[in-house]
């Protein structure tokens, strides 16, 4: 067997694949952030908390209502989307005229409240959520045994990411959204209800986070704090990718998952910092990020 720096190539392939799984989460979350940022010019700090909420909804659906994974994969994003509508209508919409900083601070406050609520009801050690029947078991790929569920995560999230990308880049709705980011006033002058479009965009963005949350529930422990560490990494992903393009956020998310995976093999101690190191380097070379546009 061939080695690379003392690690068998086959093991390396396995690690790359696992990196891709994590990258799928980064991609989905940073995609949601990018969509929201594009339309609302708000960095949605609450993204991590809404992701957590998605996972919790999956668990609650099963626990209290007996709704299975597949139902919740649909329902949780809907519920969180409605919550997003409320957040946008009741709070965010008053902040657009102000400095963007206030949006960041408000959503930070929302994060604290949501985490606090879930923590006070469910504690922190977390709830257990089983992998759905259909996806249990693992497949032997030769170089590694890949649990079917992880394969599903990659497939599902890449599908969703590409779907969102296609929706935004290829449809009338997407065209309206893109136009709205370019020149919201003119779009409104054409009779399109831009405020409502903004609300729905926010709802859609956070629904993506909830979807990621449901996907994560069977892999991770469902707990109140599951989003708060992730969100900062996703921020770094966003800074590295540059807030410009939808495709950029997807690619950067996947790419960083893989880089992180490789770090876990060669220098595991640095695996939690590598994203930030990459960020520092990218900022030095390209202050606007890899796919971002200057100013």
Considering only residues 44 through 83, tell me which ones interact with other proteins, judged by CB under 8 A: none
Rounded Cα gap, residues 41 and 260, in angstroms: 29
Interaction of residue 11 with other proteins, rule CB under 8 A: yes
Nearest CB to other proteins, comparing residues 18 and 72: 18
Q: Which stretch binds other proteins (CB under 8 A): 58-66, 70-78, 204-212, 216-224?
A: 216-224
Interaction of residue 290 with other proteins, rule CB under 8 A: no
Question: Across the chain, where does the E strand assignment appear?
Answer: 3-4, 7-8, 138-140, 145-147
The least CB distance from residue 76 to other proteins, in Å, is: 19
Interaction of residue 132 with other proteins, rule CB under 8 A: no
The H helix count followed by the E strand count for the chain is 11, 4
Rounded Cα gap, residues 279 and 273, in angstroms: 10
Interaction of residue 4 with other proteins, rule CB under 8 A: no
Task: Give the contact letters, 146-185, x = binds to other proteins (CB under 8 A), - = no.
Answer: -x-xx---------------------x--xx-xx-xxx-x
Nearest CB to other proteins, comparing residues 31 and 239: 239
Nearest CB to other proteins, comparing residues 79 and 184: 184
The least CB distance from residue 127 to other proteins, in Å, is: 7
Task: Give the contact letters, 238-267, x = binds to other proteins (CB under 8 A), - = no.
Answer: xx---------------------x--xx--
The least CB distance from residue 124 to other proteins, in Å, is: 5
261 phi and psi angles, rounded to 5 deg: -60, -45
- What's the token pair of residue 191? 């009779």
Nearest CB to other proteins, comparing residues 45 and 211: 45
Instruction: Tell me the number of residues near other proteins by CB under 8 A.
Output: 92
Task: Give the contact letters, 79-118, x = binds to other proteins (CB under 8 A), - = no.
Answer: ------------x--xx--xxxxxxxxx-xxxxxxxxxx-
Rounded Cα gap, residues 97 and 223, in angstroms: 35
Q: At how many degrees (to 10) do helices 194-216 and 148-170 cross?
A: 170
Q: Which stretch binds other proteins (CB under 8 A): 13-21, 61-69, 155-163, 204-212?
A: 13-21
**According to CB under 8 A, which one of 5, 125, 133, 285 is a site residue for other proteins?**
125
For 110-117, which contacts have Cβ atoms below 8 Å and span 24 or more sequence positions? Answer: 110/45, 110/46, 110/49, 111/45, 111/46, 111/48, 111/49, 111/227, 111/228, 111/231, 114/46, 114/49, 114/50, 114/52, 114/53, 115/49, 115/52, 115/224, 115/225, 115/227, 115/228
Interaction of residue 194 with other proteins, rule CB under 8 A: yes
- What's the token pair of residue 155? 């497939």
- What's the token pair of residue 15? 């690690």
Provide the 3-class DSSP secondary structure of residue 99.
coil
**According to CB under 8 A, which one of 43, 55, 160, 206 is a site residue for other proteins?**
43
Contact call for residues 42 and 95 (beta carbons, < 8 A): yes
Rounded Cα gap, residues 33 and 250, in angstroms: 11
Nearest CB to other proteins, comparing residues 75 and 221: 221
Nearest CB to other proteins, comparing residues 82 and 232: 232
């Amino acid at each position: 067997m061939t080695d690379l720096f003392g690690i068998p190539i086959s093991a390396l392939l396995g690690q790359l694949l696992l990196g891709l799984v994590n990258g799928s989460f980064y991609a989905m979350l940073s995609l949601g952030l990018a969509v929201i940022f594009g339309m609302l010019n708000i960095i949605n700090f609450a993204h991590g908390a809404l992701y957590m909420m998605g996972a919790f909804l999956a668990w609650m659906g099963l626990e209290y209502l007996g709704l299975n994974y597949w139902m919740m994969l649909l329902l949780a994003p809907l519920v969180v989307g409605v919550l997003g509508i409320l957040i946008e209508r009741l709070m965010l919409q008053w902040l657009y005229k102000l400095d963007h900083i206030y949006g960041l601070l408000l959503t930070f406050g929302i994060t604290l409240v949501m985490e606090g609520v879930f923590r006070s009801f469910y504690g922190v050690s977390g709830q257990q959520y089983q992998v759905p029947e259909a996806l249990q078991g693992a497949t032997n790929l030769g170089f590694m045994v890949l649990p079917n569920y992880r394969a599903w995560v990659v497939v599902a999230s890449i599908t969703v990411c590409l779907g969102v990308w296609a929706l935004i880049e290829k449809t009338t709705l997407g065209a309206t959204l893109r136009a709205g980011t370019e020149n919201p006033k003119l779009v409104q002058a054409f009779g399109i209800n831009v405020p409502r479009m903004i609300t729905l965009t926010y709802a859609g963005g956070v629904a993506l986070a909830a979807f990621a949350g449901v996907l994560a529930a069977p892999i991770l422990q469902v707990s109140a704090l599951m989003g708060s560490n992730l969100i900062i990494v996703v921020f770094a992903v966003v800074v590295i990718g540059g807030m410009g393009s939808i495709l950029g956020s997807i690619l950067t998310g996947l790419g960083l998952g893989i880089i992180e995976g490789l770090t876990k093999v060669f220098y595991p101690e640095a695996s939690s910092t590598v994203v930030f190191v990459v960020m520092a380097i990218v900022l030095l070379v390209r202050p606007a990020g890899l796919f971002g546009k200057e100013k």
